[in-house]
Chains A and B, each alone.
Chain A
Amino acid sequence: MAGGLNEEMLLNQGEEIDELNEQLVGIRILRGVELNILKDGSVDISDKILEKLDVVSAGVHSLFNLNREEMTKRVLKAIENPNVDMLCHPTGRQIQKREPIQLDMEKIIEAAKENDTILDIDSYPDRLDLKDEYIRKAVKVGAKLGISSDSHSKIHLHFLELGIAQARRGWASAKDIVNTRKVEEFLRMLKTS
């Protein structure tokens, strides 16, 4: 998985989170993970472990140069995975650094809607991915969107304001964004697992 915990560490982390949740008032920490989508569209943690998590996202972090057909097939498979709740930074672009991966975005957005997979609006300054025109399309077809900060440190949390601005550029409103909901409702909007 991205950033490199192994399955055992992930389970231990889950236990720590459970303990914290018992002590915390007014905050609930969710157990989650960001997976790598491998070349064939499978993900790099077993279903048995994923079922124990609250929220699972997956994204392309390698092999960015597959052709459009192969890449679309790869990402569609992840969208169809019943354990994958969200497709993170869907097009993989890094502004001023890397071109987006080759994807048939019509198909991706359609499949996200069909499979109830959330499309991420990654707020990290050089990602802002989805970009506005795809957000607009997702809103039109009724695919769910989520805004993530992609924080790698607590000082990154404020990037969320950029993701919110990005969502508005694509004419999304609060009802289109899953993480405007209270936690129970948010969890109900995820794929059942």
Chain B
Amino acid sequence: MEIPGVGQSIAEKIEELIKTGKIKYYEELKEKVPVDLGSLSGIEGLGSKTVKTLWQKLKIKNIDDLEKVALSHKISGLPGFGEKTEQNILKRIEFAKKSEGRYILGFTLPLIREIEHRLRSLRARA
């Protein structure tokens, strides 16, 4: 089957992912750039470009790293980053920490209901 935009190279990687659960190329990249992009770009105002700069200049991998360099005023020394950016980053880290370990009801509810449904059907069988 031909899918537009999927050539041989991507097709092979999809196959590899399905067969082995991993993609070697991705694992290699991950090793070269061990950045927790998911949690870092969850900080408002941090896009992948900023995350890239922070990794290249200051080796920022995760939110803990980010907080440390912001507190020691290393971010405001970078070109394109000012004191205000640094303060904003700290404020947003604070905000992100508040929601740590908490999940939004509406997004988890379908899963909770599915679990409930399965548990109920178990009891019916006993």
Enumerate chain A interface residues (CB-CB to B < 8 A): 95-99, 123-126, 128, 159, 162
Q: CB distance B95 to A125 under 8 Å?
A: no
Chain B hits for A159, CB < 8 A: 106
Does B104 have its Cβ within 8 Å of any Cβ on chain A? yes
Chain B hits for A96, CB < 8 A: 96, 99, 102, 104
- The residue of chain A having its C-beta at the shortest distance from the C-beta of B42 within the complex is A97
**Least CB distance, B102 to chain A, in whole angstroms:** 7
The 8 closest A-B pairs by CB, nearest first: A125-B106, A96-B99, A162-B106, A125-B104, A125-B107, A126-B104, A98-B44, A95-B104
Q: Which of B44, B96, B106 lies at the interface centre, i.e. has the most chain A CB atoms within 10 A of its CB?
A: B106
Chain A hits for B29, CB < 8 A: none
Chain B hits for A98, CB < 8 A: 44
**Least CB distance, B110 to chain A, in whole angstroms:** 9
Chain A hits for B105, CB < 8 A: 125, 162
Chain A hits for B106, CB < 8 A: 123-126, 128, 159, 162
CA distance in complex: A95, B44 (Å):
12
Q: Total interface residues on B, using CB and 8 Å?
A: 11
CA distance in complex: A128, B96 (Å):
18
Chain A hits for B96, CB < 8 A: 96
16 contacts between A and B (CB under 8 A): A95-B99, A95-B104, A96-B96, A96-B99, A96-B104, A97-B42, A97-B44, A99-B95, A123-B106, A124-B106, A125-B104, A125-B106, A126-B104, A128-B106, A159-B106, A162-B106
Chain B hits for A95, CB < 8 A: 99, 104
Chain B hits for A162, CB < 8 A: 105-106, 109
Give residues of chain B (19-41) contacting chain A, Cβ–Cβ below 8 Å: none
- The residue of chain A having its C-beta at the shortest distance from the C-beta of B104 within the complex is A125
CA distance in complex: A128, B109 (Å):
15
CA distance in complex: A176, B104 (Å):
26
**Least CB distance, A101 to chain B, in whole angstroms:** 13
Chain B hits for A99, CB < 8 A: 95
Given contacts A96-B102, A128-B106, 14 further A-B contacts (CB under 8 A): A95-B104, A96-B96, A96-B104, A97-B42, A98-B44, A124-B106, A125-B104, A125-B106, A125-B107, A126-B104, A159-B106, A162-B105, A162-B106, A162-B109
**Least CB distance, A70 to chain B, in whole angstroms:** 18
**Least CB distance, B79 to chain A, in whole angstroms:** 23
**Least CB distance, A122 to chain B, in whole angstroms:** 11
CA distance in complex: A128, B106 (Å):
10
Chain A hits for B107, CB < 8 A: 125-126
